[in-house]
Structure formats: C-alpha cells, structure tokens
Structure 1
Amino acid sequence: MITGELKSQIDRLWTEFWTGGITNPLTVIEQITFLMFARLLDITEQRNERTAGRTGKPFRRLFGPDQQDLRWSHFKNLGGAQMLPLVRDQVFPHFRTTGVEETTFGEYMKDAQLLIQKTSLLVSAVTMIDALPLGSADTKGDLYEYLLSKLTTAGINGQFRTPRHIIRFMVDLLDPSPRETIGDPACGTGGFLVGVMEYLTEKYTSPKGVLVDAEGNKAYTGDLLEPHRAHIRKGMFHGFDFDSTMLRIASMNLMLHGVEAPDIHYQDTLSNSFPENFPGHAKDALTLILANPPFKGSLDYEDVHPSLLAKVKTKKTELLFIALILRMLKLGGRSATIVPDGVLFGSSTAHVALRKMLLDENQLEAVISLPSGVFKPYAGVSTGILVFTKGGRTDNVFFYDVQADGFSLDDKRDPVKDNDLPDAVARWKSRDPARDKDRTAKAFFVSAAEIRAQKYDLSLSRYRETIHQEEEYDPPKVILERMKALHDDIANDMAALEEMLG
C-alpha cells in the first residue's frame, strides 16, 4: 500500500541524486539502500531498548556505548560538514560488523562505500529518508519495490528485472505454503523471494487483518502467519548471486517485506565452489525454486561442477541452471523457471538430454509460452516457463499459450486490457488431461509418449493445431464484370468532368 504522496517522495529523492551527480540507477539504489539500512539499525535498536525497558531482559546491542554517535537519530541532525566524514569513515565501517536479527548483511558489506561526495546531497538524502515510513510494516516493502521499479525504467547495465506481474503469475502457479524452504540460485534483487512473501502475506490474512486506507488501497497484515514467523524470519528464504550490489538490494528488499534475517549469499551457484561453500544448499535442500537465471553466455567446463556436467554436457548457462535447480531441490520439490525458447526446441545433444531428463526422470508438469515482448525494452527474446517436480513420473504435460500479459508488447509496455495470465492460472488450477484435449485452444495437454516421439521437443507450436478457414471468392467472370462496370463508371465521370470544364 503506497500512496501518491509516498511515490512523490521517492521521485524527489531519486531526482536529488541525479541532480547531485550520481546518475547510474543501480548506484542510486545502492546508496539509498545503505542509508535506509543505517536508519533501520537505529529503529531496531530503539525497539529493542523499549522492549528491554518493559521486560528487564538484556539484548544484543547494535551500538556500543562508544558508538552512539553512529546512530541515525544522532547524525541526522548534524550539518553537512560534520555528517559526511562521520557517515563515510565511521557509520559505513560499522555496517560490516553489525546486522539486524542475525542477517548476513555484513557478509557483503565489506566493500561498501559512500559515493556521495557533496555534503548538500547527503543532508538532503538523509532528510528525505528520515521522512519515509520505514517503521511501518504495511508500507515499507511496497515503498522499496517502487524504488526498485526505477531500475525497470532506467535499465540495469544490461541486466533486467523480471516484471513483477510475471513473478506473481509464477508464484500463483506454485501456490507456496508457509512451510516451504524456498530458493533462487540467481536471485538478483530478490524479486521471486519477495513475490512469495507477498503472496503468503496476502493469502494468510484474516478478514480482520485487511487494512484499507483513505484512498481504498488494501494492506495485508499476514496475521495468520504468526505460527510460522520463526521459520519465515530465518529459515524459509535462500538466495545466491555473485553481484554484491544485487545481494545488498535483495537483502534489504526481503528485510523490508518482513523477512528479518534472509539467507542471502555471495556465490556463483554453477561453480565448483558452491557445494563446498554451501553443502546444505547445493543438493537436496529446497522444496521450492523460482528463477529467471541468466540466459546469455557460456562457461568453461573446468569452472562448472562435475555433477552438473554429468547430467548435461554443455557450456550454456540456461541448460546448466536447470540441472542445478534439479540438484538443489529435495525429492518432490517443485520449480517454475523462465527459459529462452531455445531450451524448448534446441536440437543439440545437450538440449535434448536436458529435456529427456525432465520428462523421463522427473515430472514435467507445464510448458507455458510467453509473448516475446515481456522483457522489453531491454530484451526481445522469446521465453517460456517450465514447471516441474523433482522425481516422479511424467504422463501428460500442460501447455498454455500466453499471447497477452496486460501490457503492450512494444518498448513502451503500457497497460492494456488483453491479459491471458488470470485465465492461465485458472486453467492450470482446474486442469484435466482427460478434458483439455482441444489443440486449437490456448490450454491443452500433450502425452509424454507423443513428446518422446517428437524427439522431446517442448515448443508449443509443435503440438498446437491451427484451423485454416477456407475463404470463398466470387467466380472470375463475376469479378471481371464488376471491374468493367467500375471502369464504365470512371469513364462516365471523366466525360462529365471534361464537359463541365468546357
């Protein structure tokens, strides 16, 4: 629930950084994240102090007796000449040795730097962030998501976020429960993990827990999640990336959405070091994985863990990530993963081997084709979503052809009425292989036996039937007579015009 006024505050904060000389959108987000974290540390300390005052119980302090001047409530009142060196030389180094509620934030704050060099910009940014409702559980997550939406409009140095409505669509398909252990091996800004948290918060809110503001916006408190809070706080969400900036943003994103101690780590999950560094995550660890792993690029064989190459001998990251996800899932664990269309129909040995593994050794449940404009303006690649369960048996595969996602498919991506996503979710939830046989419809099933016969091709167009409606035309003689009549009419009109001109 974010009001127009809050959006305006974020817009002004964003503009302040640009006019202050920091124009890289990712850098702007990162610097705002650092300052938000500084304020959150102080908010947490104040909350713990109040609790200790009521209960008399001690707590682990985030600021020692000699570090009180590093608290937001202290330095926000300083002038720019005093504030800048204090924040740069003392507050930022303090980040590396502290955290909120056992977070791993300090793990990737080692190279954190204050890039704000103008005292006026720092003072303005601190003043604006101080006015944001970061203490409000109902709004702080939406507020940060709106801030991250600036990356979509500005681009992320060649990278692009998965659109939020596509994330929600994939979460709806998997319908996670509060007991899941959820991961993303290439988490970026944490969009999928946050998407699950938002879904759970909305689904597990009682009628009394729904708050409505003056503008009619609803906020979900997730009051029915209370029995699961300990698991949500530190055991439910796991993410990996090898971009420290992304990790900081992902961690802050989750923290602001009620996941107080997200398990986010710096790691290339395809590499040899992943099972060594994180043996508890690398194999048979998770019940749910949602991902949009990097498509472009290839790796050297020696950089990839042998267990992945044993499944699919390739250098292509989009194929290796599917093998990785299967390894990370527990038996019976589920995944919805975005892949480029080439994964669905590629004819190389590795492509076929991967699809064969999905169909013959696991339960491939769905192939959902997305329109090619979903990731515009940054990528026009055609993609699909694979939904599968580790282990089990594939009898039939659900196909759905999403032709519209509620936004124009050009670079502008303006909202439009046409949207197949709600229908896709509804058809998925009511799916029936015995009934959904019409290959001319948007949704239909294909048997595993037929897919095997087609060399494991998973492209929807391979199985979709198109009805060609026969057009009826007049006989050629009738058309010729009509043309003669038109010619006579033209000749008569020209003669009349010539007579008028004298």
Structure 2
Amino acid sequence: MLSPETEKKIEALWDLVSSAGLAASPYVVLDQIACLIFLKHLHELDLQRSAAGTVAVSQVRVSDKAKPTTPTISLWKKTLQQEDIGVFLVDVAYPWLRKLEQRLSNEKIFGTALRLNGLMGDAYFQLDMTKNQAIQQLVQSVDELFPCPGFDHDGPQSSGEVFAKLFEQASQNSTLGQIATPPHIARFMVSLLDPAAGEKIIDPAVGTGTLLVNALGYMREGKTPSDRSLAGRSDSLTGIDLNHAQVRISWIYLLLQGIESPLCIQGNSLNMQNNASITNKILQDKYDFVLSDVPFGGRIQQVENSDANGDANIQHIELQYLSQALSLLRPNGRTALIVPQSLLTVEDTAHIRTRRTLLIGHQLEAVVLLPEEVFAPHIGIKAAILVVRKHPAQQPASARSNPELKTTTVWFYEVENDGVSDESGTTGVASPENDLLDAWMHFKLRNADLQSWEATKGRYYQAVSLQPNTKWFNPQVTHRTATQTKQWQVPVRIWLEQAEWSNAPDGVLGSHDAAGRVRSEYIEEMASRLYVADRLDKTLLAHNCIEAHGWSLELTRYKPLEKPNLLGEKSVLELINELEALERNILQHLIDLRKNLGGDR
C-alpha cells in the first residue's frame, strides 16, 4: 500500500506534466515514463550483474569488438548528471535503447532475459525539449519514485503500485476518459474466471496491461514463494496490441511485477499471417483464459471472407474480438470480455449470427451490465462483461435446427453501484456495499450448485469490512434481504405445450409430461420444423425465451417487473393512498382560506 507521502509525490508528478504541457496525450507521457523506468531498471540490473561478476548490459556493444575491462557508468546515472537532459535523451539514451535488442542478441550469456521482441525498436523521446526544467524534475521524480523497479515487487511499497497510481492520475486528468481498465473492474473480471498459478492467460487487446497485472496479483494472492514464482512465469501471461507505445507500457508494467521477461507483443491479434512470426505462434497456441477489454465501435474489412456475391465481410471490431477470443481458448477454456451493450441488442445480421453462435455452440455463463459511470465522464457507452466457456464440441453456425443448446439459460446481473465510481467517473475508496461483490458471490454460488443459488438468490451480499489494502473480491461477507431485483436468468429456448400432440407408435400424448418437462420425442420431431427456410416458426416457442426474440440479449426484454416492497407494516400502495388523502386535505384547507379572505372560487 502506498503511503500518503508517496501518493502526494505521484500527484505532484502528474501536475507537473499537465501544467508544463510536456505532451499532448497522457499515453505519450506514460510511454516516456515507462522508457525512463526501463533505463532505471537496467541500472539496477547492472549493479546486480557487476556484483555477481557477469557482464553488465551497459558494457555490451553492437559489434564483436573487445569489451572495456572496466565497468562503464550506466546511462541512467549519466542522464541524471546532464544539464540538458532532453538533448542527452534524444542524442544518446534513446538511440542506445533502440539498438539494445541487437546488442543482447549477440550475447548468449543473457539467455531469454530482457526478451524485448522489438518493443524498443521505435522508442523515441517525444516530450517538449524546450521545457528542460520540467524534464529534469520528471526524471528526478522517476528516480525517487522507482528506487528498484522490477526488483521490489514483494516490498510494502512496490514500483508496480506506483505505476498503477500513475494510470489513475492520468485517467482523472484526461479528456479521453479511462486510460486503463478501472482496477476494481479488472479485479472483478479476474475473480469471475478464478485462474490458478501456471494457467495460461492471454489478452489480445492488452493496452496498458491492467488486466494481466490483476490476473497475476490474483494468482499470487496468499501463495507460497514457489507458487508465486509459477504464477509469474513469462509464458503464463501474454499480451498483444496494435499500438506499439501501449505494448511498451504493458511490458514495463509486468516487468515491475517481477516478471523477468514479459511476453507482450506488438501485432494484430485479428489477422493471422502465414509466416513464422512470434505473433502467429502466439495466435496458434491455446489458452486457459482470454481476458480483455476489447476496442469499441470500429469496423474492419476482411476480403478473404467475402460472400458469394463478392462483397467483403465488414464486421464490427468487437464481434471479431469475441470470435478470436473463443478461437484462442482450449476446450473448456473461459473468457471474460468487456463489450459494448450494443453487441447484446443490435439486430443486424452479423450481431444476430454472433449471439446465436455463442448460445448454440458455447456456454454463456454470465452477462454483467455495467453502469455508465464506470467509464465516465468522457465516454458515454454502456458496457457489459460477458463470461463464456468454450464447449469442447463446437456447434456449426448453420445448425439452426439442432435442438441441443450448449447454453440453456442466461444469467444476467445489472450493476447500478460499483462501490467506487460516481457520476463524474472519479473513484474513491471501495465501499463495503457494492453490486460487484454481490454479483461475484451469486455467480460463484450459481456455478457451484444451481439449487442452492435458487434458495439464496433473494440475498444481497456485502463485505463485513474492507481495509484499504484488502482485495475486495475475496473478503469476509455478510448478507441481508435484497430490496430490489438485480439478477435474473432467462431460458434460451422454451417449447410451447401442445396438448394434442401424440407419438402414435408409442402411444405418448402431449408434448410435455405431468411434471411440465418437454418430452424428448417431441423435441426430436419438432427440431426439423423449428426453422423453415431459415425463418423461426414462433408458434413452437414461448414468447419470453431468448430464441423467440431473435437471440436478443437486451435488458428490457427480460427484466422482471418488481412487486412493491413492504415498508414496515404498510405497503407502497397504502402509503400512496395516504399521500393522496393528505393532498386532498391540504387543497380543502386552501379553499377554506380563500373564502375567509373574501376571494371568489
């Protein structure tokens, strides 16, 4: 946990960046700070290697020329000694960083350490060089706030926590909205998946790396040193992103967690090429979990998927990420994705086909609807979290008539209070009572035992207490009676009862048995009739199931109407009647007063 003094220093650092106008974008500032942290990390690494009698990174040359016999001063120390730091970073430090991977590739003694994968190849100093005093203060602040970056992750005040606080400051002071996935949402998503140390996780739109870092923290929580080491293996966490600067940020963020050589790659996770690139190798692998805050709103064109008319298949980018997430999973693997709520409701062909494939071929475990405040104030898009398990035997997308649904019911939870966000999008200390905790508890109980969940779904769970450094997704909990409905489950397919139907050879009468269960013989006969010419025969299904609504997952279609709750001994309707009587009494007194004053009417 960061001390109040450290938090003030971080706030002062971001105030300096903002007031001096060092860069136009917070992403540029974070990228530049990440590069400076990396220089400081190399300085600390050299101190360790020199103490061990091994070659320091600063001594490695591009060519095979003889290396100096005496240690050279690190670039970080040289940077701190400069009067014009900006010029030195442009002319010396950043060019050295761009060639670092080439240097390391000539030195087999480094093995897989500092596996950069081209991340520093386009690292350039991008801050305003005319603000020399501000740049000097920035470098000095980095030196002070990150004393041993990458080597202090087990300490009481780690460099990773400081870096995370910088994200928070950047989001609060940005006109672009959230710079990274809000940490409490990231922790919630990870807790829904419940990954164990050693399991493989990929984020195909890694951004600043917040989801992977929270996954690592979850897997390490309460673990022994050996298990913590297993959770921090570089091959267990993988990130891909199109944006080179953001991949650098996520790589440094994971490095600060003690991962010696994070696997974060710049590349297009939606476009696999026929070559031996590391991106292709990653995309051809299979993972236990896919965890991602997918990009919203864009469209991509894939000419290779043209239809019979030759028209290119243009799809919303979030649909492509959902499809790719399922492709990356091993059988029975699971994904948690933040998607726009439009993915659940839009009724064009691509969205309907995606939802149908999802429900027929996989198990949709949860739809968690998030409030707008999570991404406020600059992004007014409603989002949802989808949790999906990949079924071992995938259903062909064209198999409309197949009666076997991998998802039989969909569980919805509507989050109204996430415990930390307000209407302006600012975040504070987590509240002991919030809907995310209640959603997590019900999700866990429902997956463990559906009958037990049915008996307890009227409860609202809340934390007994929440210390500032407690991971809220695993606190001590208590419960009270829920005052409003926040969760509900909706069947995907409900066969309408046909009392006159009979199976003549077996003498079976009625589509449903005495207990109300649909007969397998009826399903077998009606499966081929459910869709005629690719159109649903709605006379066969109940109107309140998802398939009858064109596979829509829209909230308003299924949210149950709430009955008035009792307040004390009187119902809400009784209280309304009392208010009406009071109003009539007041109006009568006003009429009498007017008469007494000699007024008409």
Is the contact made by 1:26 and 1:156 (CA closer than 8 Å) also made in structure 2?
A: no
Is the contact made by 2:199 and 2:236 (CA closer than 8 Å) also made in structure 1?
A: yes
2:418 to 390, 405, 411: 405
Residue 209 of structure 1 corresponds to none
- Identify if the C-alpha distance between structure 1 residues 121 and 448 changes in structure 2 by more than 3 Å, giving closer, same or farther: same
1:446 to 457, 466, 490: 490
Residues 188-237 of structure 1: per-residue CA shift (max 9 Å, x gap) = 101110110121222425xxxxxxxxxxxxxxxxx3524516xx232011
Counterparts of 2:582 and 2:164, CA distance in 1: 65
TM-score by length of 1: 0.83
Local SS of the residue matching 1:27: helix
Counterparts of 1:454 and 1:97, CA distance in 2: 58
Residue 335 of structure 1 corresponds to 335
- Identify if the C-alpha distance between structure 1 residues 133 and 12 changes in structure 2 by more than 3 Å, giving closer, same or farther: same
Residue 425 of structure 1 corresponds to 440
Cα drift, residue 84 of structure 1: 4.5
> More displaced, 263-272 or 166-175?
263-272
Is the contact made by 2:416 and 2:435 (CA closer than 8 Å) also made in structure 1?
A: yes
Residue 395 of structure 2 corresponds to none
The ranges of structure 1 where at least 4 consecutive aligned residues each deviate by more than 6 angstroms after the TM superposition are 304-307, 474-482
Is the contact made by 1:283 and 1:327 (CA closer than 8 Å) also made in structure 2?
A: no
Structure 1: tracts of 5 or more residues without a match: 206-222, 497-502
Residue 505 of structure 2 corresponds to none
- Identify if the C-alpha distance between structure 1 residues 347 and 98 changes in structure 2 by more than 3 Å, giving closer, same or farther: same
Residue 107 of structure 1 corresponds to 118
Correspondence list, 1:265-284, <5 A: 265-273=265-273, 277=277, 278-284=279-285
Correspondence list, 1:471-486, <5 A: 471=573, 473=577, 483-486=587-590
Residue 74 of structure 1 corresponds to 77
Counterparts of 2:136 and 2:206, CA distance in 1: 32
Local SS of the residue matching 1:445: strand
Residues 77-136 of structure 1: per-residue CA shift (max 9 Å, x gap) = 52314x544432222122123369634436122221223424433433332222224322
Q: Does 1:463 pair with 2:558?
A: yes
Cα drift, residue 351 of structure 1: 1.0
- Identify if the C-alpha distance between structure 1 residues 197 and 35 changes in structure 2 by more than 3 Å, giving closer, same or farther: same
Is the contact made by 1:240 and 1:266 (CA closer than 8 Å) also made in structure 2?
A: yes
- Aligned AA for 2:136? V
Residue 125 of structure 1 corresponds to 138
Residue 525 of structure 2 corresponds to none
Local SS of the residue matching 2:221: helix
Is the contact made by 2:202 and 2:289 (CA closer than 8 Å) also made in structure 1?
A: yes
1:204 to 223, 240, 245: 223
- Aligned AA for 1:488? D
RMSD: 3.2
Cα drift, residue 60 of structure 1: 7.1
Correspondence list, 1:302-451, <5 A: 302=303, 314-392=314-392, 393-415=406-428, 417=431, 419-431=434-446, 432-434=449-451, 436=453, 441-449=485-493, 450-451=545-546
Q: Does 1:172 pair with 2:267?
A: no
Residue 210 of structure 2 corresponds to 191
Is the contact made by 1:364 and 1:389 (CA closer than 8 Å) also made in structure 2?
A: yes
Structure 2: tracts of 5 or more residues without a match: 61-66, 102-109, 393-405, 459-483, 494-544, 565-571
Correspondence list, 1:36-115, <5 A: 36-50=37-51, 52-53=52-53, 58=54, 61-64=57-60, 65=67, 69=72, 71-72=74-75, 74-81=77-84, 83-98=85-100, 102-105=113-116, 107-115=118-126
Counterparts of 1:22 and 1:270, CA distance in 2: 34
Counterparts of 1:44 and 1:148, CA distance in 2: 25
Cα drift, residue 283 of structure 1: 3.7
- Aligned AA for 1:398? W
Residue 489 of structure 1 corresponds to 593
The structure number with the bigger radius of gyration is 2
Cα drift, residue 7 of structure 1: 1.7
- Identify if the C-alpha distance between structure 1 residues 410 and 157 changes in structure 2 by more than 3 Å, giving closer, same or farther: closer
Cα drift, residue 159 of structure 1: 6.8
Cα drift, residue 348 of structure 1: 1.4
- Identify if the C-alpha distance between structure 1 residues 293 and 104 changes in structure 2 by more than 3 Å, giving closer, same or farther: farther
- Identify if the C-alpha distance between structure 1 residues 286 and 191 changes in structure 2 by more than 3 Å, giving closer, same or farther: same
> More displaced, 431-440 or 470-479?
470-479
Is the contact made by 2:410 and 2:490 (CA closer than 8 Å) also made in structure 1?
A: yes
- Aligned AA for 1:144? F
Counterparts of 1:338 and 1:32, CA distance in 2: 27
Correspondence list, 1:25-40, <5 A: 25-40=26-41
Residues 261-305 of structure 1: per-residue CA shift (max 9 Å, x gap) = 111111122235388643322245211111111111111233x77
Counterparts of 1:276 and 1:405, CA distance in 2: 44
- Aligned AA for 1:8? K
Local SS of the residue matching 2:100: coil
Counterparts of 1:490 and 1:228, CA distance in 2: 84
Matched residues, percent identical?
28
- Aligned AA for 2:489? F
Is the contact made by 1:274 and 1:282 (CA closer than 8 Å) also made in structure 2?
A: no
TM-score by length of 2: 0.70
Counterparts of 1:233 and 1:333, CA distance in 2: 19
- Identify if the C-alpha distance between structure 1 residues 69 and 14 changes in structure 2 by more than 3 Å, giving closer, same or farther: farther
Question: Which structure carries more relative contact order (alpha carbon 8 Å, separation 6+)?
Answer: 1
Is the contact made by 2:208 and 2:249 (CA closer than 8 Å) also made in structure 1?
A: yes
- Identify if the C-alpha distance between structure 1 residues 130 and 429 changes in structure 2 by more than 3 Å, giving closer, same or farther: same
Is the contact made by 2:99 and 2:121 (CA closer than 8 Å) also made in structure 1?
A: no
> More displaced, 133-142 or 177-186?
133-142
Would you tell me which structure has more helix in proportion to its own residues?
1
Local SS of the residue matching 2:121: coil
Residues 426-460 of structure 1: per-residue CA shift (max 9 Å, x gap) = 11111143355579732333333233333222233
Counterparts of 1:456 and 1:441, CA distance in 2: 23
Local SS of the residue matching 1:446: strand
Alignment length, in residue pairs? Answer: 465
Residue 170 of structure 2 corresponds to 151
